[in-house]
Structure 1
Amino acid sequence: MGYNDTIGREAEKMLEYVKTGTTDCADGTMEVPAAAYTDPAIFEREMAEIFMKLPLLAALTAEMPNPGDYKAMDLMGKPVLITRKTDGSVAAMLNVCTHRGMILKPEGHGNAKRLSCPYHGWTFVNDGKLLGVADPQKFGAICKEDRNLTRLPCVEAGGIIWVCLTPGMEIDIAAHLGGMLDDLNAYGLDQWHYCGSRRIHGANWKIAYDGYLEGYHFAAAHPETIHPRTFSNIMHFTALGPHMRVGYPQVRIEEALEALPRESWGNHENDGFDFVRTIFPNVSIFFAPEITQVAQLIPGPTADRNTTNLLFIRRDPPKDAADAEAIEGMMDWLSDVVDREDYGVGLQVQRGMESGAVPTVIFGRNERGNQYFHRTIDYYLSDDPNKVMPEL
């Protein structure tokens, strides 16, 4: 079955749910300890076993398309520098001079074929190799190869630059992404235009991730923003390894789809139905007609907090000044909705969890995606050598 056929069948299921007043359901409910959102020991284990080992979205190809481009950021408390080398490939390294530990580049984007330390002037090629020591006659002899920047595993796929924060680990990105890579490749994100970013702060990373996985909250939490467009509590879930494609039917799905030939439904995302794609453990993508929002969720620095970078891209650059202004307005609006109506709620949930009022939280049959997400976390934290990835 081709990709568009798969999307068409998922659209067909969403239309069925709307007509029958049903939704995609699990066999039963599921409880998760409230401590999973509050316990520092659990948080540290998640960081060590999940976030330090799995490929993480570090940048979009569109953020740094040209040779010499770089992006410096804090990722899980580590200063990371991603560069595009002269041959067009990407590299990642710790953004730390190997002389005295100075941060080489401040957070942000730039273009440089050479990286010069602002403290003592040591210079590195943008692939991390030490090029020169300032005033070497007075400094003394060193082995340059021993003082190259600390490289991190890095690969580019699906229009995204992926980094592993543990030096020396291998990244098999095709195996990690599985069928989600088909989704990304279908959009050709490596050719898109980077519009900008916004930063918001929220509660425990799982509280934030939980919100991306269900539309049960749309009517109550988004009465004037999302709910007028999208049914509340009607979802369709597809698992792609640890990742998910969550379908949300629009209120006009019957009108939109039944006016089209059935075989074309898979080509009409955003025309009657939408998807949120989650890439475990730290990505949520929403393709909208006007602009696409990619959420990069960064846990910490403590169990009760996360920082989320909302990265915005679209197929084409602004046509003119008015279009550019409209893009800025759309980014502001989307980030404000997520910050106020999702992350604001999440912070209140965090307070509730920490109060001790509930020993467990319960996910309903309709919250099937959340159940799968938490079983996936358990899989990665398990010490069982015979463990098997859960099924949706």
Structure 2
Amino acid sequence: MLAGHQSSIREPGAYILSDWAKFPYVIVRGSDGRLRAFLNTCRHRGARIVSGKEPCLKAFICPFHGWAYGLDGQLKGITKSYNFPDINREDSSLVELPVVERAGLVWIHPTPGASLDLESYLGAIGDDLDHFDLSGLVSYRKNLVIKRANWKLLIKTYLEGYRVPYLHKNTLSQAFKKGIISHYEYGYHIRLSAARTNFLEMPSVPREERHILNYASVYYSIFPQAFFIMQPDYVSINMFFPLAPDQTLWTHEMLYRPSQFRGDAGQEALEKRFNYTN
């Protein structure tokens, strides 16, 4: 699963926390620069260790009984340890999960000890993400809302342009007049290219000067829960987590290149784009 963008976890002690209670994980950058992921639960009584309010992590301290773990997940301290004379500290370390970085993104596997082979999982879609240099982006803002809808319905709404000239006749249809989309599938992943109104101007531009995002918006549905929207100057990452058959946690994070949004005018433009995409 996609966990988030690299820009939020570059410094030692920085972390990414799961937004979905059904899969509570924490991903942290250690002092050795290595990224590690763990279930966000104490091995003693299962309490959540990281709340999300911590600005930076120097260790994992359970708020329930004070058990302490290093950023490598190893159990370091037990409150009143004489009450636990037979405990094996190595067997009581945090449960580690597979995690990797690629294309400026952080990916996690929910099964301890599982293989996380992004080459085979993403295939050509991974090459696309590499091409867009997402590592050069930074996060502007992240929004979390709960929708009264099935999570698959929300994703499927993104997969068609049929509605654009009608439902969005005063907004999106100005840029995507015909609602024309081509698509490519790799396993469960889908790439969609939505032609902009100026698409037919592209052949008159020298090949070396062409950039796909100037003539089409490119979308990626990354199985199981992520949806990317690639625009010329920002990227929206949407993730969908089922809470119930008719209830979904929807997160939206907008990424941008600082060089393209300078000063007060740049921040105003970012605010406008963020509000528009929400």
- Give the TM-score of the pair, scaled to structure 2: 0.91
Q: Which residue of 1 aligns with 2:271?
A: 328
Q: Which runs of 5+ in 2 are unaligned?
A: none
Alignment pair present for 1:288 and 2:237: no
Q: Which residue of 1 aligns with 2:171?
A: 225
Q: Which runs of 5+ in 1 are unaligned?
A: 1-55, 336-392
Q: Is the Cα–Cα contact under 8 Å of residues 158 and 189 in structure 1 kept in the other structure?
A: yes
Alignment pair present for 1:83 and 2:28: yes
1:109 and 1:171 map into 2 onto residues whose CA distance is 28
Q: Which residue of 2 aligns with 1:264?
A: 208
1:67 and 1:79 map into 2 onto residues whose CA distance is 21
Q: Which residue of 2 aligns with 1:319?
A: 262
Q: Which residue of 1 aligns with 2:192?
A: 246
Identity %: 28
Deviation track 1:124-153 (CA, whole Å, cap 9, x = no partner) reads: 112211111123235544211111111122
When residues 110 and 173 of structure 1 are mapped into structure 2, their CA distance, relative to the original with a 3 A threshold, is farther
Deviation track 1:150-196 (CA, whole Å, cap 9, x = no partner) reads: 11222212221111222232111110000011111112222321112
Deviation track 1:324-362 (CA, whole Å, cap 9, x = no partner) reads: 343233212211xxxxxxxxxxxxxxxxxxxxxxxxxxx
2:166 and 2:94 map into 1 onto residues whose CA distance is 50
User: Helix, strand or coil for the counterpart of 1:311?
Assistant: strand
Which one has a larger percent helix, Structure 1 or Structure 2?
Answer: 1
Q: Which residue of 1 aligns with 2:97?
A: 152
Q: Is the Cα–Cα contact under 8 Å of residues 159 and 190 in structure 1 kept in the other structure?
A: yes
Aligned pair partner of 2:15 in 36, 46, 70: 70
Q: Which residue of 1 aligns with 2:218?
A: 275
User: Helix, strand or coil for the counterpart of 2:255?
Assistant: strand
Q: How far is the alpha carbon of 1:198 from its aligned partner?
A: 1.1
RMSD over aligned Cα atoms: 2.0
Q: Which residue of 2 aligns with 1:234?
A: 180
Query: Which structure exhibits the higher relative contact order, with contacts defined as CA atoms closer than 8 Å and separated by 6 or more residues?
Result: 1
Q: Which residue of 1 aligns with 2:159?
A: 213
- Give the TM-score of the pair, scaled to structure 1: 0.66
Q: Is the Cα–Cα contact under 8 Å of residues 227 and 237 in structure 2 kept in the other structure?
A: yes
Q: Is the Cα–Cα contact under 8 Å of residues 234 and 248 in structure 1 kept in the other structure?
A: yes
When residues 137 and 76 of structure 1 are mapped into structure 2, their CA distance, relative to the original with a 3 A threshold, is closer
1:268 and 1:144 map into 2 onto residues whose CA distance is 55
User: Helix, strand or coil for the counterpart of 2:63?
Assistant: coil
User: Helix, strand or coil for the counterpart of 1:104?
Assistant: coil
When residues 274 and 184 of structure 1 are mapped into structure 2, their CA distance, relative to the original with a 3 A threshold, is same
